[in-house]
């Protein structure tokens, strides 16, 4: 898998469910360029086990992302109709009712493929037939896309490994701090803690205090 860091996020237009109850066609991340950062994340499938914990955890922190001029958008290889059914299923029944951020349908798997998170690939067998090798779903990929549409953070987990929503927020904070103050953020940096100037003197000064 090649990295997308520093590159324009792959563009797409696809069906999506917004506000938990409305299907829209031709949803695109381009609508946020110049206005919002985007946390765009992939999950394997609707109606599974780890996935609802992640989607609901993003919803619980949604106001924190919004305070940081950041929108959250999910995506899986399910259809928009599967998304809508899952969004209308109660939590006690394994659903994600209450989730309001957009969830994109990638039934063709091209969005996952373009972002480098498809858990397999198409090939040709010995009889000349097209076959899929691996799992035809997305890994747990997460991309922080800035207001210019450029990928600034990329994280990909294997299917069994759920993500930390707080870590996604931390990276949003780090990007905002860098853009506002020009300071880079050291290991385990949190909002409100010291950052440092990207110079030898700046590093030495930071290390002398820590």
Domains of the chain, with CATH numbers?
Answer: 14-162 (3.40.30.10), 164-210 (no CATH)
What share of the chain in percent tops pLDDT 70? 95
Task: Give pLDDT tens digits for 40-91.
Answer: 999 999 999 999 999 999 999 999 999 999 999 999 999 999 999 999 999 9
Judge whether residue 204 has pLDDT over 80.
Answer: no
Q: What angle do CA 94, 64, 56 make, to 5 degrees?
A: 5
CA-based torsion, 136, 120, 109, 57: positive or negative: positive
Question: 201 pLDDT band (50/70/90 cuts)?
Answer: low
Task: Give pLDDT tens digits for 97-151.
Answer: 999 999 999 999 999 999 999 999 888 988 889 888 999 999 999 999 999 999 9
- Catalytic residue annotation: 51
Instruction: Judge contact between 47 and 91, C-beta under 8 A.
Output: no
CA-based torsion, 124, 4, 100, 46: positive or negative: positive
**What are the backbone dihedrals phi and psi of residue 39, each rounded to the nearest 5 degrees, phi first?**
-100, 105
How confident is the model at residue 197, as a pLDDT? Answer: 81
Rounded distance, CA 94 to CA 43, Å? 15
Rounded distance, CA 183 to CA 206, Å? 11
Selection from 179, 164, 175 nearest residue 41 by Cα? 164
Contacts of 171 (CB under 8 A, 6+ apart): 144, 152, 153
């Amino acid at each position: 898998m090649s990295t997308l860091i520093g590159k324009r996020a792959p563009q797409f237009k696809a069906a999506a469910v917004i506000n938990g109850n409305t299907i829209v066609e031709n949803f695109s991340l381009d609508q946020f360029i110049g206005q919002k950062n985007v946390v765009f994340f992939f999950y394997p499938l609707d109606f599974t086990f780890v996935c609802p914990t992640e989607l609901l955890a993003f919803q619980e922190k949604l106001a924190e992302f919004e305070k940081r001029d950041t929108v959250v958008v999910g995506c899986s290889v399910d259809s928009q109709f599967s998304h809508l059914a899952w969004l209308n299923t109660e939590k006690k029944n394994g659903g994600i009712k209450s989730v309001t951020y957009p969830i994109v349908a990638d039934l063709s798997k091209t969005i996952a493929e373009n972002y480098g998170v498809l858990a397999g690939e198409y090939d040709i067998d010995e009889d000349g037939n097209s076959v899929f090798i691996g799992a035809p779903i997305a890994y747990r990929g997460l991309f922080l896309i800035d207001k210019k549409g450029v990928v600034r953070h990329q994280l990909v987990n294997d299917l069994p490994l759920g993500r930390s929503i707080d870590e996604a927020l931390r990276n949003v904070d780090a990007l905002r701090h860098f853009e506002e103050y020009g300071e880079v953020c050291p290991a385990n940096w949190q909002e409100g803690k010291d950052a440092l100037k990207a110079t030898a003197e700046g590093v030495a000064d930071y290390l002398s205090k820590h």
